[in-house]
Structure 1
Amino acid sequence: MFCLDVNGVTASPHIDSRLKTLGAKFRAISRTLITSGFVWDDERKMVSVERVVYDEYCKNIYGKDYATGKPSKGYVEAINHLEKVAPSQKKLQKKRRKRDGAGSSNELASLQTFMKDMNVHLSTMANVMASTNEREKDTYEIEKKLLQQSEQVLEELISLNLEGTTPKQVFEVAEDLASKPHKLMIFSKCPNALKSSYVKSLIRENDDA
């Protein structure tokens, strides 16, 4: 979760700079949330991920070469660089606080509104992704069930002992049911007393075609 010290922000250029930085961070967070293993913690308003997954993600990002062929910094080296830069940034903020007065309340309010909106967008994105995952799970379960039913179709057709039907007609019905989920669903839900009638209707459809 981002923590922003606003005490040193006193002028519009500083606000614009922070807004650009937050915008870049928002895009970075959006990219991580579509990566497997990264989830949005709505309670703490932050991205949650296992350390192993995060390390692997960093290796993939920083391990790539530039288009010019120049190797990029390793992710460990990049992190060390950020740690070195941090103290100098703190010193600069202290100097700004000494030099500048209190910031504009309107500008600070705009910054706070932006941060609040960013949290709302991330939360919405996480909810949409969760809903998508749930739909994919439901679809997988339905397809799995249909596959199991299609594997049993031929066996069930043979067990019906339909009089006046040829093996070719039985195989055509089996192929028809296996390739058309709605027909397979009807066949599976039919009481045993009606299955023979339904199969004969499918045979007539195939013969007419």
Structure 2
Amino acid sequence: MCGRFALFSDPTSIARALRLPPPSEGWQPRYNIAPGTWITGVLRYSTDGDPLFDDVWWGYRPHWAGSSGPEPINARAEKLNSSKYFRGAFHKHRCLIPASGWYEWLPGEGAKQPYFFARQDREPLFLGAIWEPLDDDTACCAIITEPARGIARDIHDRMPLVLDDQSLEAWLDPDLVERDAIRAAVHHLEAEALTAWPVSTRVNRSDQEGPSLVEPLDP
């Protein structure tokens, strides 16, 4: 799953990777982003519009589900095309969530040990996600997960769908709507490009913030 992540990468470098103008206001570094908050996304609000940076609510609920519908934070890649809840957004409302890395917890005796995952080269990550419009002209989203690969498999059985750099434009392409075409054009980042290290259990509390949360634990 993906239940916590960080975004402290330079907004200019993220915009450059997406071939977009830098966001007008940038954003404050966040080291402990939890569900049920506004997060930075990259999405198209119309098929003829350009991708743009905007805040989206991390918790997905289609408008037709009503206020009592579930509000998942993740969508399993294996169910995107078969689930009524996700299928429409998978074909028409795909978005990207930029991240510097994400957290996962290794089960053990006592408290679970958190790990921080990032790219080996420390470049930004782009997480595949889906979005739906809300009544107030904002949007909500769910981050897509897939079976864990590489080093991530040692910590948890799921991981976010991290896209490779060549797939970003295709993922946002509104004309790419068929499942097979999407699968042919979009690829996840190779597992060998990722690394991870144990971090402080302070990240377990969503009210904790700051760069010390991603610092490796002393051996």
| Structures share fold, TM-score greater than 0.5 | no
TM-score by length of 2: 0.19
Higher share of residues assigned helix: 1
Which protein, 1 or 2, shows the higher relative CO under an 8 Å CA cutoff with sep ≥ 6? 2
Higher share of residues assigned strand: 2
